[in-house]
Amino acid sequence: ASLGAHRWQIFRRIIMPALWPALLTGFALAIARAIGEYGSVVFISGNMPYRTEITPLLIITKLEQYDYAGAAALGVVMLIVSFILLFAINVLQLWSLKRGT
């Protein structure tokens, strides 16, 4: 450690502020990809009823059952959640920029 700073202080005050914008951007891109992805997520999740069901699969199931209102409701909820998450990430990035990190 240099100038009397402990490892934790170096990490918290130097390394983490430099990584913060990249971490937020990576998180936002991962969320956007996960929300929009269907094919690979179905294979990974396993599609076990009431255990590993995912929202895109629920929407497809609703559409196959001709429950268009239910599918639309799930889609709107998914859209609102994604907007809230991306808005929160943007607020965190703006806050980070205003702090000067």
- Record the pTM: 0.62
Domain locations in the chain as residue ranges: 21-99
Could you tell me which of 39, 50, 36 has the C-alpha nearest to residue 79?
36
Supply the pLDDT for residue 1. 55
Report in angstroms the alpha-carbon separations of 29 from 25, 40, 82. Answer: 6, 16, 11
Per-residue model confidence as pLDDT tens digits over 43-89:
777 767 777 777 888 888 899 999 999 999 998 998 898 889 889 88
The yes-or-no verdict on residue 33 having pLDDT over 70 is: yes
Per-residue model confidence as pLDDT tens digits over 5-26:
888 888 888 888 888 888 888 8
